[in-house]
Amino acid sequence: KRLSNGGLYLECHLRFFGCLTALSPDYWTYCLLRFITGFSTGGVGLCAFVLATEPIGPKKRGAAGMSTFYFFSCGIALLSGIAYVFRSWRELYIASSIPSMLFLVGVLPFISESPRWYLVRGKIDEAMKLMRAIAKANKKHLPDGVILALDEEVNENLNDGPSCKDQMDTKDVITGSLIDVVKSPVTRIRLFLAVAINFLCSVVYYGISLNVVNLQTNLYLSVFLNGMAEMPAFTITALLLDKFGRKPLAIGTQWFSGIFCLMGSLVMIHGEWKVARMVCGILGIFGMAGTYNLLFIYMAELFPTVVRNAALGCGAQAAQMGAILAPLVVVLGGGFPFAVFAVCAILGGILAFYLPETLNRPLYDTMAGMEGGESV
């Protein structure tokens, strides 16, 4: 089910549990409040990304999608500074929960639903109203008589005049689920590959971030540098995205990360070599940050609107499983975590070979539209 504004409001209200965590009287209360907080925030980033990219055309979608992740990296870098100032974990939970409350008041009231989602739900009037608002904001004007059509209707012969408009106004609601994704020969293998790649990339991405505890360097500085290393990765990936395509970059960035993780596993942890291993970690997360966020754009283009949130949610769930596994790898210490990260990154790059390229391809709305378009 599409998580729209109502779901985002729910997420922000539940973020108050982040503040309540600071008042935990015992460990089990702490665990319960952290579970509720994580449950409430797990899908907000995914839904925000979909809402931000669905109205964007193919030429600008890559750059627009990658730009959303600068705020994520800024949050990581800022968190290291907040943690440095608020050394008490109770104070840290309160300080890190305040941005969600500001989001509730300062951002959420201005968020609109995606016109594509309105279209597949049969809400033509709402979709057209939003399209006119977008055109007005861009100092453009939609001519009278313009009608929105689903991709599966593009090749149909629509009659001119009022009868065509009446047909569009009474359009049935089109829905989809993960069952439809698995049933379709076009999307089935895409889903399985995307899930596997998300899992592997998440192990590397979160693993390198958490592995700073094994580097024996300044913890706050290492987290800050990791966050800052992601920003140029987004810029470079955005610049190359429309030149080389999604698939080559997904492969190249994973292998780039894998090579430096492999080098990090071979570097000693004594003396000045600690700095060399930290550099390997920074370059490893540099490459994986490009991949991890590129996957959002790639998956959004691999699946049609009716199942896009479900497919991306499935990939995000696999990523969360990888994030759960990452600390178990990190606690092994030594060079072993870097070796695991290297294997995961290289394997993820190999799996990406079997995904289709989506550069300059249309963003499909329905399963039938995608199957018809891909067959051509």
pLDDT at 195 > cutoff 90: yes
Distance between CA atoms of 261 and 249, rounded to whole angstroms?
18
Could you tell me the pLDDT band of residue 295, with boundaries at 50, 70 and 90? confident
| Per-residue pLDDT at 342 exceeds 90 | yes
Cα angle, residue 204 at apex, residues 293 and 197 outer, rounded to 5°: 60
C-alpha dihedral over 55, 59, 61, 62, to 10 degrees? 180
pLDDT > 50? residue 366:
yes
Amino acid of residue 362: P
Least confident of 57-61, 110-114, 336-340, 342-346: 57-61
Instruction: Count the Cβ atoms, other than its own, within 10 Å of residue 352.
Output: 28
Low-confidence winner among 130-134, 159-163, 347-351, 367-371 (lowest mean pLDDT) = 159-163
Percent of the chain with pLDDT over 90: 13
- The arithmetic mean of pLDDT across residues 87-93, rounded, is 84
Task: Determine the pLDDT at residue 258.
Answer: 93
Closest C-alpha among 265, 255, 253, 259 to residue 211? 265
The residue with greater pLDDT, 325 or 167, is 325
Q: Is 266 left (phi over 0), alpha (psi -120 to 50) or beta?
A: alpha
For residue 50, the number of C-alpha atoms closer than 13 Å in the C-beta half-sphere is: 30
When the pLDDT of each residue in the chain is averaged and rounded to a whole number, the result is 78
Identify which of 6-15, 107-116, 234-243, 335-344 has the greatest average pLDDT. 335-344
Average confidence (pLDDT) over 243-254? 91
Cα 201 to chain centroid, rounded? 12
Average pLDDT over residues 205-229: 75
Q: pLDDT band at 251, cuts 50/70/90?
A: very high
Alpha-carbon span 115 to 121, nearest angstrom: 10
Q: Where do we find the tokens 């990304």?
A: 49
Whether 11 has a pLDDT exceeding 90, the answer reads no
Highest mean pLDDT among 8-12, 180-184, 198-202, 215-219: 198-202
Q: What tokens appear for 240 in the block?
A: 């190359």
Q: Tell me how many degrees the CA angle 126-127-133 measures, rounded to the nearest 5.
A: 90
Measured at the alpha carbon of residue 266, what is the angle toward residues 260 and 272, in degrees to the nearest 5?
Answer: 90
Phi, psi torsion values for 349, nearest 5 degrees: -65, -35
Q: Say if residue 60's pLDDT is above 60.
A: yes
- For the record, the structure tokens of 313 come out as 């949610």
Assess whether pLDDT exceeds 60 at residue 6.
Answer: no
Between the ranges 66-70, 115-119, 145-149, where is the mean pLDDT highest?
Answer: 115-119
Summarize the confidence of residues 35-42 as an average pLDDT. 72
- In the structure, what pLDDT confidence band is assigned to residue 5 with cuts at 50, 70 and 90? very low
Nearest CA to 297 out of 74, 49, 113, 55 is that of 49
Highest mean pLDDT among 4-13, 47-56, 332-341: 332-341
Across the range 244-271, mean pLDDT stands at 87
Highest mean pLDDT among 163-172, 257-266, 345-354: 345-354
Please give the average per-residue pLDDT across 213-231, as a whole number.
72
